[in-house]
Structure 1
Amino acid sequence: MQATLAVLCPFTPRLSPHVDVVQRWSLHWATRHGLLDRPGARAAFARARFANLMARTYPDAGVGDLQLATAWLISVFALDDRLERAGDPAATRRLVDEVLALLVEDPSEPPKGHLRALGEVWRRTGPRVSPAWRERFAGHVRDYLEATVWEAGNRAANRPPPVAEYRTMRFRTAAIDMFFDLIEPMHGVELPAAVFADHDFAAMRRSAGMITAIFNDLVSWPKEEAAGDHHNIVLALRHERGLPVEAAVRVAVAEHDTLVGDFVAARERFAAGALAADPAVTAVAGDFVHWVRGNVDWSMESGRYTPSDDTPAGHPSGGAIAIPAQRRPVD
């Protein structure tokens, strides 16, 4: 199967001028924390280009801030991989509880082993933000981690999640809320609770997160299918509706594009409202745009979602559907 489908992404790409500096730094940082010790890990890390994602989604951040954001991204991806390897739900639950304890405790000794990297970025982030921000962020990390326990239970039971349930949980498994929280320290601001209660701001944040998650699924389904993992909107649609994979991809693309339309409409309403006069709020809202666009560009340049080399010829994942970086750029 060789097909090309375009997604709606009407936003201008941005890229921080610090990307190369941060990429070199990130390799040393990940090495120092023992995250690249497995065979092939260094090559896979170089292909993933994690610094590029942060440089595209926080394009106005300084070098130090981008390094912190990239360290968070690397730590979360490393944790996500470890959670997938944990296998049974009980082992996943134990690892999740270790991480949650790390976020609520202030140990006198730095964490060892697999929690060392997370412990460092958490300690580096704390002084930049208020207790209220830390509580909000920790809650979003908790949402993500609890969702991984849900995934582990599904894998253990070989249970494909229903589409509606999957959509609800996908926002959490994407860990997007915590990276949206990081927008604030990237700009040296902190938003009051009233901003998050604003209907249009909340709609922008929610739709931007789901756009990011669904696009991730569109580029990663071949890898997940090859691994026998049901957690992908394309695979959930195929299973529940009995669709050929090409049709399931098209349904998922339509869902993605509808969400982009919702995001654009919420953004226009926000721009006409009182909150748009606040530079801190507009800076944060601007990075929602950068996340939507930056995730597309990074996904196209990263090797993170390439199917494994041993995928059998003729297997559906052997002909991944290519998704161009944009359609109808108007902004």
Structure 2
Amino acid sequence: MTGDILWSLRSHCPIPPRLSPHADRVQRWLDDLLPRLGLPLDGPALDRLSRAGFARYASRLYPQATEADLRVVAALFTWFFLVDDACDGPHRLTPQQIRALRDGTLWLLREGHRIRHPGLTGPLRRLLLRAWREPRRRMPARWRLRFADAVGHHLHGTWQEAVEKAAGRPPDVARYVELRRATSAAYVSYPLIEFVTGRPLPDAVYHHPLLREIADLGNDLLSWYNDLASLERDRATSGGHNLVLALAAERGVPVVAAVGLAAERWRATMRRFVELRATVPSFGPALDKAVTDHLDGVADAVRGTIEWTLESARYPTPAARD
């Protein structure tokens, strides 16, 4: 149903695709690391993780990263996808378990590893500890707080979505968009731009209203593209938590018509995204390079999600047509 739409939206994306030259090496490193963490995954499950290409996803979002930093980001991405599977898979965690996971994760990010929290244990804790070591060592306290806040926002949204699914409450479109901005983890990916570039932004610039609006639009673009790619799965499992399904319910139209509505909403948002990026003012010679890196990173997150979605075994899509 959505294959042609996905390829059409890709052709209408003006952001050029980028890919790190370290992508394949980091993917091989990640494939070697995961079995040694003690994850409860058999051979086929590990193979599915490899074919999903989480390191290649990171390589598309952070093409300028060194190989060492790309390993850090790829490990973090893998952690978030494993958590996503645990919270939204066939044997999903309960809302209470998700809340405990959130609390344990924030404890580790904010307080360190010396005192264990029961909400985060085992292989997931080991993977996050390993991935967080270098950002914690290298980045300033205000950045670490910003990153932890973004993770907390993401996991709180994941918990809220689980509560609403358990209660059988499908969201309307406005509620869905608000919640999807949290569950997508895009806001977690944005601070990592500063990690790989080594140029952290002051809070006043990072939270500038114009930059925040651009970040919100970038989040919507990558989230809604993902919704189109995962629609068939979500129709069975999401409890209405998909832009297409929310539009279909709110407008009273068939799902196939809602696909078209979602695609048009995506195109209009892309036009607004491009327009706003062109209006960003100078913040002064000491900050303009970091601001440009941030804006490029938000754009790379959009285009990188498109390219990765179409190449990853996680979201099977029809091959491109000539």
With structure 2 as the length reference, what TM-score do the two structures score?
0.89
* Aligned twin of 1:139: 149
1:82 positional shift = 1.5
Task: Work out the CA distance in 2 between the residues paired with 1:50 and 1:207.
Answer: 23
State the 4+ residue runs in structure 1 displaced beyond 4 angstroms.
322-325
1:3 positional shift = 6.5
Task: Work out the CA distance in 2 between the residues paired with 1:129 and 1:142.
Answer: 18
Amino acid at match of 2:4: T
Residue of structure 1 aligned with 2:24, choices 6, 20, 37: 20
Amino acid at match of 2:87: L
Matched, 1:75 2:75: no
- 1:178–1:225: structure 2 CA closer, same or farther, 3 Å change rule? same
Residue of structure 1 aligned with 2:126, choices 94, 106, 116: 116
Task: Work out the CA distance in 1 between the residues paired with 2:62 and 2:71.
Answer: 11
Judge conservation of contact 2:18–2:63 (CA < 8 Å) in 1.
yes
- 1:109–1:153: structure 2 CA closer, same or farther, 3 Å change rule? closer
Residue of structure 1 aligned with 2:97, choices 91, 96, 102: 91
Judge conservation of contact 1:211–1:259 (CA < 8 Å) in 2.
yes
- 1:228–1:172: structure 2 CA closer, same or farther, 3 Å change rule? closer
Q: 1:254-269 counterparts in 2 under 5 A?
A: 254-269=264-279
The DSSP-based 3-state class of the residue aligned with 1:265 is: helix
- Among the aligned pairs, what percent are the same residue? 35
* Aligned twin of 1:236: 246
Judge conservation of contact 1:19–1:52 (CA < 8 Å) in 2.
yes
Matched, 1:100 2:106: yes
Matched, 1:53 2:57: yes
Judge conservation of contact 1:162–1:240 (CA < 8 Å) in 2.
yes
1:258 positional shift = 1.4
The count of corresponding residues between Structure 1 and Structure 2 is: 309
Residue of structure 2 aligned with 1:193, choices 203, 208, 217: 203
1:294 positional shift = 1.1
Structure 2, unpaired ranges of 5+: none
1:43 positional shift = 1.9
Residue of structure 1 aligned with 2:306, choices 279, 296, 304: 296
Q: 1:26-37 counterparts in 2 under 5 A?
A: 26-35=30-39, 37=41
- 1:3–1:148: structure 2 CA closer, same or farther, 3 Å change rule? closer
Task: Work out the CA distance in 2 between the residues paired with 1:221 and 1:276.
Answer: 44
Amino acid at match of 2:309: S
Task: Work out the CA distance in 2 between the residues paired with 1:171 and 1:245.
Answer: 22
Residue of structure 1 aligned with 2:283, choices 275, 279, 283: 275
Judge conservation of contact 2:61–2:304 (CA < 8 Å) in 1.
yes
1:183 positional shift = 0.4
- 1:255–1:22: structure 2 CA closer, same or farther, 3 Å change rule? same
Judge conservation of contact 1:217–1:232 (CA < 8 Å) in 2.
yes
1:78 positional shift = 0.6
1:305 positional shift = 2.4
Judge conservation of contact 1:36–1:42 (CA < 8 Å) in 2.
no
Structure 1, unpaired ranges of 5+: 307-319, 326-331
